[in-house]
Amino acid sequence: MIPNVPLEDLFEDLIAKAMRGRHLSESELVEKTGVPRDILARLCRGEFCDEQALVKVARALSLEPRSLTMAASRVWSPRPVSIEGLEMFNLPYRDMRVNAYLVWDPSTRKAAFFDTGTDSIPLAARAKELGVAVEAIFLTHTHNDHIAALDGLKAAFPDAAACSNLAEPWPGTETFSEGAAFDLGKLKVSTRTTSGHSKGGTTYVVEGFARPLAVVGDALFAGSMGGGMVSFEDAWKNNREKILTLPDDTIVCPGHGPLTSVGEEKRNNPFFAAEFPV
């Protein structure tokens, strides 16, 4: 089952992330754009009060103006996705929610979890209800909201190998280097290091379904991207070069917010739409 999940970031979140990533304060943005301070402050608070001012802010922050305006107008969300062999869990964590995924080969019933979220009980119960054999637990990165239920999942599936990127190892896991590949029944799982949000953030590309899957952790969100907590520049570059170069029909499974696709993000993500003109 794929739950109906709202977008993780509103347009003011995109502005804030871009300001942090581009190292621009409100005062510097006022000077750079000529937008009055009070108008900029209202935009930064999430008030869509002046479209021309928003366009100026978008250009100053290297955000694509059309898609940022769409985000402010709340007229876009990704199309719903459903595919046999993919389940999404949207779990509470403090004042937000986090995603974990169960992926399995429908023919062999061999399965893996991607991240754990905050509660192993519904994940384990669903896997057992489906009658799948969980062989692996793949971590996209080791921030607490994504691994909080790891011990519980390992206890529920003691034969499953827990795996993390060598650039961001976690105790009790087997580590791999970028480019490592795994078999999951007839499915093929390959790894791409998409660091920037975290040191060893990993995107897992799953092939063997009618459409490829990319489980991206907090590298990329529908209409946004994760905060560049380690390096905004690396985060942006890795998203551009390692995720958005996948086929347009690739289903993107982010760590927060709804499922999306590579094609939708190339057209509608303000951080990247200028790189892929329609």
Q: What is the pLDDT of residues 245-254, one digit of tens each?
A: 999 999 999 9
- Which CATH number goes with the domain that contains 53? 1.10.260.40
Residue 238's pLDDT is what?
98
Q: Are residues 43 and 95 in the same domain?
A: no
CA distance 257 to 99: 8
Q: Are residues 42 and 153 in the same domain?
A: no
Give yes or no for a contact between 170 and 154, defined as CB atoms under 8 angstroms apart: no
The residue with greater pLDDT, 24 or 277, is 24
**pTM summary value:** 0.97
C-alpha separations of 18 from 58, 62, 124, 182 in Å:
9, 8, 38, 35
Query: Which string of b and e fits 92-131 if b means at least 16 CB within 10 Å?
Result: ebeeebbbbbbbbbbeeebbbbbbbbbbbeebbeebeeee
Q: Residue 114 is part of which domain span?
A: 86-275
Q: Are residues 28 and 68 in the same domain?
A: yes
Give yes or no for a contact between 132 and 121, defined as CB atoms under 8 angstroms apart: no
Token pair belonging to 270:
């303000």
CA distance 137 to 44: 39
Token pair belonging to 274:
């200028």
Q: Is residue 78 part of a domain?
A: no
pLDDT in tens, 213-232: 999 999 999 999 999 999 99
Q: Are residues 68 and 96 in the same domain?
A: no
pLDDT in tens, 54-64: 999 999 999 99
pLDDT in tens, 66-105: 999 999 999 999 999 889 999 999 999 999 999 999 999 9
Residue 65's pLDDT is what?
98
- Which CATH number goes with the domain that contains 181? 3.60.15.10
Q: How far is CA 92 from the centre of its chain?
A: 16
Q: Are residues 103 and 144 in the same domain?
A: yes
Determine whether 2 is exposed, middle or buried from the number of CB atoms within 10 Å of its CB (0-12, 13-18, 19+): middle
pLDDT-derived band at 234, boundaries 50, 70, 90: very high
* Tally of domains in the chain: 2
Q: What percent of the chain has pLDDT over 70?
A: 100
Q: Are residues 68 and 109 in the same domain?
A: no
Residue 256's pLDDT is what?
98
Helix (H) or strand (E) holding 225: strand 224-225
| 161 beta partners | 136
